[in-house]
Structure 1
Amino acid sequence: MHRSPTNDDVMSTREAAQMLGVALRTVQLWVESGVLPAWKTAGGHRRIARAAVLALAAERRGAVAGPARDTLEMLVVEDEPDLLNLYAMVIEGWDLPIHVRLAKDGFDGLMQIGQQRPDLLITDLMMPGMDGFHMLRSLLASEQALSAEHIVVITALSPVELADRGTLPPGVRCLTKPVPFAELEKLARARIAELGIVRLDSAAIPL
């Protein structure tokens, strides 16, 4: 006989956010993308299986309790596939202790930030779907917020065009396309030094 879920078996998105220690919007994004399976009640409210929330919480605790970090977590958000590939190739060529993740738009970026917050975020602004402006506003308003100084915007927009579309949050660094990889490398090296990251196969990273 099939047993209907009880109140102890399910959670609201808000309850799940509190248990997981993330913003409500992060849980909503996880639900929309299928990371957390959920369904809607007759009243239109989302409900999530408590077992799924507990499993994700255990996974996140395991990640936090893992071995000491020896890499800088970098996330690049850019909608042009060729440029994303160029980012990956150039960053690998720096020969620095960097783990780079790639996201194709703002929604994908927020999803990845919700799963693991980067040490350095590099993002385009003009993207289809959720653009960089929307992503940054959502990010900086959430519990997963990065410090603005660890966010770098790479854009072809002029200062006037930026102002017309809404200025960037205070503290966010803005660089102009074509991508200034030499400047990004300096920023990455500075962040590595700030975090005291030392690659395991080297006594020290030359900065």
Structure 2
Amino acid sequence: MLGISVSLVQQLVETGVLDAWKTQGGHRRIPLRAVLDYKNKLAGSMGRDASGRATILVIEDNAIQRALYQRQFAAWDLPADFIFCENGYQALLQIARRPPDILLADIVMEGIDGFEVVRTVMTDPQLADVSIAILSGLPADELAARGGVPAGVVFFPKPINYDELRGYLRASVAQRARKPAPV
């Protein structure tokens, strides 16, 4: 019903985002009302916020690289709010709270990696409008072994060409701004 992985549902339950209880056997029981409320809340949070600014979620586990991104993005003065996550788990929780308009994801991370986050976003019909880019230093052969870059996803090899990334973000923000606001 939610179009997300079982592990993400479990995480939503454990963090209290999704109401549920556990049976004596340790199984989670989620009332239908809780699922429908969550879907409605998620649908209502999609799209433009009142300020008209885009939301860009950046997943990067390397603290130095995150700081470089923060400094670079601030200098570009885009009409966007950036949210930084240091791992896939944080990113999935953030997406559940406030779905982004644009997702920039590193791939190689401990635990839930960037590929799993990208796949989760791509399989959720309510997140179909999210623009996705992968930023990774993964060699081409290793990237191919993991399934390659999914169709519709932009790939930026590390070290990042910031002129290209800025162009992508400007185009994505502009494209989003041209879409009519949801009724």
Indicate the TM-score class for this superposition, using the shorter chain for normalisation.
0.7 to 0.9
User: 1:61, 1:159 → 2: CA distance?
Assistant: 36
Q: Aligned residues, how many? A: 176
1:79-158 paired onto structure 2 within 5 Å: 79-147=61-129, 150-158=131-139
Cα deviation code 1:132-190 (max 9, x no counterpart)? 12222222222343457x21111111211211222121121111111222211111111
SS at match of 2:50: coil
Answer yes or no: is the 8 Å Cα contact 1:122–1:152 preserved in 2. Answer: yes
Matched, 1:174 2:149: no
Q: Is the 8 A contact 2:61 2:109 kept in 1?
A: yes
Aligned to 2:141: 160
CA distance in 2, matches of 1:86, 1:43: 47
Q: Which structure's CA Rg is the greater one?
A: 1
Task: Give the partner amino acid of 2:145.
Answer: D
For structure 2, list consecutive stretches of 5 or more residues without a partner in the other structure.
179-183
Q: Which has the higher contact order (CA 8 A, sep 6+)?
A: 2
Q: How does 1:21-60 map to 2 (within 5 A)?
A: 22-25=2-5, 26-36=8-18, 38-48=20-30
| Matching of residue 185 in structure 1 with residue 161 in structure 2 | no
The amino acid across from 2:135 in the alignment is: I
The residue aligned with 1:12 is none
RMSD, aligned α-carbons: 3.0
Structure 1's unaligned 5+ residue stretches are 1-17, 198-207
Q: 1:67 to 1:161 in 2, by over 3 A?
A: closer
TM-score (norm 2): 0.78
Q: Is contact 2:132-2:154 (8 Å) kept?
A: yes
TM-score normalised to the size of structure 1?
0.70
Task: Render the CA deviation track for 1:53-101: whole Å, top value 9, x for unaligned.
Answer: 7986786687569963421110001111121122122111111211000
Percent same amino acid among aligned pairs?
36
Query: Does structure 2 retain, via aligned residues, the 8 Å contact 1:113–1:144?
Result: no
Separation (CA, whole Å) in 2 of partners of 1:65 and 1:164: 34
Measured after TM superposition, the shift of residue 196 of structure 1 is 2.3
Of 121-130 and 27-36, the range deviating more from structure 2: 27-36
Query: What is the SS of the residue equivalent to 1:134?
Result: helix
